[in-house]
Structure 1
């Protein structure tokens, strides 16, 4: 899988990594979500399902400079290179959900990779812009695109942060009643958040609804990201248990890695997983950490941390679970 990871890194770098400039904090143009080009589209996309997903893409661009040398810490949603970088990750989400859901994913002014190396206060200050875009996109989706259908919220990394906050702060009771589940891949939820926000309910099994699925994967406890040290939520995405019951590789139906040309590689029955309840993290085996380590983000995701691959590792199990939760929601006794 090393080829796949290297390809992603190459695209990320091409999308805007450069030396620091002046006037950091300038903003690209705000997206207009009434325009079709502000929503991800791909060949063959068909919107004929009874269920939707609102999907938020992870961090995919580095800081970049505008023509006058200003350093920009946000994605330019009109920039073809930056859109191409995010499309690689968004395609992964699309492939995951497309069998069960109509797929809606907005381009937004996500904060760039370097932002995550700063203080929590600085991250939150910059992220406010990104989340304002997501909130506007979600409201547009609800008012104009959803049509009253049940839906999932899903996101990876920065996208997971976004959907957690939507669940915490932005769903009406009527909207929450139609939320099948939230999938927050690769992020943390604190105990304080659980106590404060009644809509934020951790998943406890494979078919509960109105819940949030959250997990982070490492090969050893030493690889846990400092960014998620206060995480209080985790479920094993192979056996859907919240205790330490080991899920052997034989239960992992397939880890799927997509290439930019649309082709994919699948590792069948390769990755085993055990939840470590005292740390709220999933410990995996069956992989060579070196093949998946990304030095450029090693400061927050050390070797043995599988943050970038949180969806890939359990792809076929997740795809099956999305269908199972959709079916469970549709039952009258839900």
Structure 2
């Protein structure tokens, strides 16, 4: 996953004129167009190590997860700014990276639904994709919205909802909150939204505030992670950006010690969570941590820990998702993993 930060090796051709070619829109009646569904054997059902359990079978809530950008190169059968859902190699990359490392966090708190969608190419976040950025993101969001509406019609049944996302997925989840939750009856079903990896304004929503405690519901959390010595560039430290510390679930700027970190996941998912992996401290518009210690860490030189926004705090996010569901339902947790 760390390679994603520097994997922008090639970009699609710029569209000519007003054309914007895109792969066909997905049909969400087909299970192939979902990366995770309850009852389907998928990577969201996995758990790291040997002490955690997939509890979707008894979960009282649902989790709708929107994955980040995995479309980072131009493949032989896909030269557009939006990924094709028929790209089997890309689908495997999605499943084996973000669904395994991020969506599986939530399988103790809810039944996990994660749509495949025509994600925008990573270059839309760089200069070479600026001219097509909004059209590519709009195409991707059309799918996310269609998948969520399909979920509401066929699966929801009035259950509480956690909305979780990362990076590009967070941009789509932010729009989804406005279109389907903000000021609507469905807003009453929102347990919490995990809008991770992108800057989200504290006042982004009229009726959905930033969470200020671990058991608060109907709110959102957000953070972006950097190494302790990272220096934000111009415009990167906007004081209006919401930041919640995933070790304390507050906006407090005191350093949360690594003793509060119940376990992070690095490159070896099967090895299980590593307790005390990093501390965390809010500074301005971002979250800062120490460099984690692991075999081969001498090669881990980036100061941008974006790809590890969830992984560094894996167990804390898992525990918190369960905690918020229990608070929403007004029940005591059945046990602690």
Residues 211, 250 of structure 2: 8 Å contact kept: no
Q: Residue 227 of structure 2 contacts residue 290 of structure 2 at CA under 8 Å; is this kept in 1?
A: yes
Aligned to 2:323: 324
Long gaps (5+) in structure 1: 294-302
Q: Aligned-residue CA RMSD in angstroms?
A: 2.8
Cα 1:214/1:9, change in 2 over 3 Å = closer
Q: Deviations over 1:121-153 (max 9, x none)?
A: 742232111111111111111111111100100
- Report the CA distance between 1:266 and its aligned residue: 3.1
Aligned to 2:158: 148
Residue aligned with 1:160, SS: helix
Contact kept, 8 Å, 2:162 with 2:190, in 1: the verdict is yes
Match of 1:257 among 244, 247, 266: 266
Judge conservation of contact 1:22–1:71 (CA < 8 Å) in 2. Answer: no
Q: How many residues align?
A: 306
Query: Hey, what does 2:112 align to over in structure 1?
Result: 103
In the aligned structure 1, how far is the partner of 2:161 from the partner of 2:290?
33
Q: Distance in 2 between matches of 1:82 and 1:316?
A: 27
C-alpha contact 1:97 1:322 (8 A) present in aligned 2:
yes
Deviation at 1:321, TM superposition (A): 0.5
Contact 1:182 1:212 in 2 (8 A): yes
Q: Is 1:52 aligned with 2:59?
A: no
- Asked if structure 2 preserves the Cα contact closer than 8 Å seen for 1:63 and 1:74, the reply is no
Deviation at 1:83, TM superposition (A): 0.4
What residue is the counterpart of 1:298 in the other structure?
none
Partners of 1:198 and 1:235 lie apart in 2 by 18
Q: After superposition, where does 1:114-193 map in structure 2 within 5 Å?
A: 114-118=123-127, 122-171=132-181, 173-190=184-201, 193=203
The secondary structure found in structure 2 opposite 1:183 is strand
CA distance in 2, matches of 1:217, 1:19: 26
TM-score by length of 1: 0.82
User: Deviation string for 1:257-285 (max 9, x for gaps)?
Assistant: 355xx624532212011112xx1211111
Match of 2:286 among 281, 284, 308: 281
Determine the C-alpha separation between the residues in 2 that align with 1:226 and 1:217: 17
Q: Is the 8 A contact 1:55 1:104 kept in 2?
A: yes
The equivalent of 1:72 in structure 2 is: 80
> Per-residue displacement from partner, 1:164-222 (whole Å, max 9, x unpaired)?
1111232262211010000011111135x53xx31331111111100011011112464
* Range that drifts further, 280-289 or 170-179: 280-289
| In 1: Cα distance, 2:100 partner to 2:23 partner | 24
Residue pair 1:23, 1:71 contacting (<8 A) in 2 also: no
1:22 offset after TM fit, Å? Answer: 6.3
Equivalent residue, structure 1, for 2:53 = none
Say if 1:290 and 1:179 are closer, same or farther in 2 by CA, change over 3 A. farther
DSSP 3-state at the match of 1:74: coil
- Pick from 87, 93, 104 the counterpart of residue 85 of structure 1: 93
Give the SS at the match of 2:265. strand
2:273 aligned counterpart, secondary structure: strand
Whole-angstrom CA distance in 2 between matches of 1:226 and 1:154: 29
Task: Confirm or deny that 1:266 pairs with 2:277.
Answer: no
Q: Is the 8 A contact 1:57 1:158 kept in 2?
A: yes
Determine the structure 2 residue equivalent to 1:35: 30
Asked if the contact 1:218–1:282 (Cα under 8 Å) also holds between the matched residues in 2, the reply is yes
